[in-house]
Amino acid sequence: MSSDHGHHDPGPNNTVFRNGLSVAFIDFDFAAPGGILEDVGYMAWTWCVSSKPERGSVELQAAQLRVLADAYGLARQDRQGPVAAMIQRQSQNIAFWSERIDAFEGPPTNAAEIQERVDGSRREMDFTKAHSELFLEAIGV
Asked, for residue 109, whether it belongs to a domain, the answer is yes
Provide the residue range defining the domain that includes 108.
Answer: 33-138
Local structure of 99: helix, strand or coil: coil
Asked, for residue 11, whether it belongs to a domain, the answer is no
Asked, for residue 130, whether it belongs to a domain, the answer is yes
**Closest residue by Cα to residue 89 from 131, 121, 65, 126:** 121
Give the number of domains in the chain: 1
Contact 21, 99 (CB under 8 A): no
Residue 5 bridge partners (DSSP): 33
Asked, for residue 7, whether it belongs to a domain, the answer is no
Asked, for residue 46, whether it belongs to a domain, the answer is yes
Q: How far apart are CA 90 and CA 109, in angstroms?
A: 20
Least confident residue range of 2-11, 59-68, 116-125: 2-11
Give the residue with greater pLDDT, 3 vs 42: 42
Asked, for residue 25, whether it belongs to a domain, the answer is no
Confidence of residue 90 (pLDDT cuts 50, 70, 90): very high
Q: How far apart are CA 118 and CA 112, in angstroms?
A: 10
Q: How far apart are CA 29 and CA 71, in angstroms?
A: 25
Question: Is pLDDT of 31 > 60?
Answer: yes
Distances (CA, A) of 119 to 24, 38, 86: 30, 22, 16
Model confidence pLDDT, tens digit, residues 39-52: 889 899 999 999 99
Question: Is pLDDT of 7 > 90?
Answer: no
Asked, for residue 129, whether it belongs to a domain, the answer is yes
Asked, for residue 13, whether it belongs to a domain, the answer is no
